[in-house]
A and B are shown apart, each in its own frame.
Chain A
Amino acid sequence: MQGHSSLNVIDISKSFDTVCAVSQVSFEAQPGEILGLLGPNGAGKTTAIRMIMGIMRPDSGGITFSFADSNPTKFRERVGYLPEERGLYGEAKVHDLLVYFGELKGLKRAEARHRATKWIDRMDLTDWANKKVDKLSKGMQQKIQFVAAILHRPDLVILDEPFSGLDPVHQDLIKSFIAELRNEGMTVLLSSHQMNRVEELCDRIFLIHRGRRVLYGDLGEIKESFGDHIVHIRFQGDGSVLSSLPGVREFEQSDGRANFVLDQAHSPNAFIRNLPKEMAIHALHVDRPPLHDIFVKTIEGRNHEAA
């Protein structure tokens, strides 16, 4: 796979004064995949992204791109970036601004105009095309920034918290656009704290904590490797008997509902066979732990080790 990856990060490190922000981080991303870059606040995500973007230079290690050699102009044309710190030229008109950003990315004016109009339409902002950016709500500006990152159809797009500040409807809209870009063969690097969104979108994840790699790999495999299952039950009858079944941990119940963890040594099949016959079950949901739990547990575990 090495030869096909569009982004290759090899052993990069960066320190500020005495603080080590990123330490020996390596990962790669292929065309047509979404790689989630996750980590708690201050883990080194933004520093890593800035190094990939060439805004900062790593102290050691290297970053290579299959779509652009070391020519920075060519690189800037082929990459798109939605920074975490948002900002636009407030005095400019929406359409003009997108055309300007498109042209700076190497698009011909006519092409940039055409695409800007199309995307303003898709973002449901047609009535705002000739308004000043300042007049737009925060969510609307966010959509404009997203368009600015992808208008030129880059080979690699880096999206830092693309969902923050958006209502659920627009989160879904942006999510569908991100999936569309992946299907068109773009390499997407997605950084977000919204674990449910990451879970829905990412093919693989890279979890970084205190500048170091904690987890890296296929999302499904990572979830498998955590082994435990999470069980939600709705039922009628006495639920306390559930807590004494083999493999049940972290049991919680409240009027006709119970949530607990089924230990990895016990299969869901065996658990279901052991359910008491007199209990009337309305709903039963067994799943791998959500990414949220994996994230929290892994980070807490690391903090514990360090302490």
Chain B
Amino acid sequence: MRLRKIISWEFKAALSSKQFIIMTIMIPAIIAIAIVAISLTKGSSGQPSGPPPPPFLIGLVFSMILFLGAFMTGIMAMYAIIKEKQSRVVELMLSSVSPWDLMAGKILGLGMAGFLQVLAWAATAYFAVNQFGSFPLSSLTLVHWVSYPLYFVLGYLLIASMFATVGAAIKDIHSGGAVGLIGFLPYLPMVAIAAVVENPNVTWLRVAQYFPPFTPSIMLMRIGAVPLVSEGREFVPAWEIALSLCTLALGAFLMMRFASKVFHIGMLMYGKSASFRELWRWGRQRVA
């Protein structure tokens, strides 16, 4: 009930904020300019040509969009929380709602706004790809349609919660320091993209995919790449998808809980940035 109020308040606040509007419009605008520039250099023949991009590309495009969206919204959540602490409106809020409601409300409310943003980007990307070839929607299987949105939503929640934890722990945006690096963890597997294309079923990937921060990027790439390598002979086993979604969901939930704990304790210690060790202690501490 209260959670719903906070979600809708934060959602509206995000939609009416200038940074959000600029970000939402800027990315499609850059893509549009790029398309115009490319078609100008290619001459007037705007004919769709070339082979359709493989599903792997879709996985890659999807994870790019996911990360960009989650990164932007995560940073917005982090800013919102730092601002809330600096403006000291927290004490008033915490006299009305629980830290969990406040934190979850912010993450989910901003997340809904972020989802709209990503939809706008995805639509732009779809039209952009169609400019140069047809977007291979038909090559997407049921597995893609079901699993990608789930990885997307859960991945977003995890990433946003990580940023929110950082926002709850630090005093201002300049004291992010080492703690701020946590936010980059989910992007790490993308470094190994060449390895994934070469052998998507290599053991270390199949282990690392259950580590929640790595799950979205590894699974999006693997699900895209496996049929590419094995000529559709073999997909990522359904149980691996199901299990990784479960661990991701659990990870996202725990991260959100951790964020609200750190938030609750951190707000009582204005003017202090947290060390990793303190974060760990705060997260486990029992509060009223």
Contacts and interface: CB of A to CB of B under 8 A. Distances in A.
Contact of A87 (B2, B92, B268): B92
Interface string B234-277: 00000000000000000000000000000000001000000000
Contacts of B5: 100, 103-104
A103 B89 CA distance: 16
Contacts of B90: 87
B96 A101 contact: yes
Contacts of B87: 87-90
Contacts of A105: 96
B88 A56 contact: no
Contacts, number: 63
B184 interface: no
A191 interface: no
Interface size on B, as a range, is 20 to 34
Interface stretch (B9-17, B37-45, B54-62): B9-17
A181 B243 CA distance: 57
A81 B97 CA distance: 12
Interface string A37-72: 000000000000010011111000000000000001
Interface string A80-94: 110101111111100
Interface in A125-150: 145, 148-149
A100 B9 contact: yes
Given A57-B287, A104-B5, A148 B92 contact: yes
A80 B286 CA distance: 25
Interface size on A, as a range, is 20 to 34
A50 B98 contact: no
Contacts of A57: 286-288
Given A54-B288, A92-B13, A105-B96, A86 B2 contact: no
A79 interface: yes
A72 B97 CA distance: 9
B286 to A, nearest CB: 8
A56 to B, nearest CB: 6
A76 interface: yes
B95 interface: yes
A110 B98 CA distance: 24
Contacts of B17: 91
A91 B91 CA distance: 18
Contacts of A50: 268
Nearest to B89: A87
Contacts of B91: 55, 81, 83, 85, 87
A56 B89 contact: no
A257 to B, nearest CB: 45
Contact of B92 (A72, A81, A90, A91): A81
Contacts of A89: 13, 87, 89
B268 A79 contact: no
Contacts of B116: none
Given A88-B87, A104-B97, 19 more contacts: A50-B268, A53-B94, A54-B288, A55-B91, A55-B95, A55-B288, A57-B286, A72-B98, A73-B98, A79-B95, A85-B91, A87-B87, A87-B89, A89-B13, A89-B87, A100-B9, A104-B6, A104-B96, A145-B92
17 contacts: A50-B268, A53-B95, A55-B91, A55-B288, A72-B98, A79-B95, A80-B95, A85-B91, A87-B89, A87-B91, A87-B92, A88-B89, A89-B13, A89-B89, A92-B13, A104-B2, A145-B92
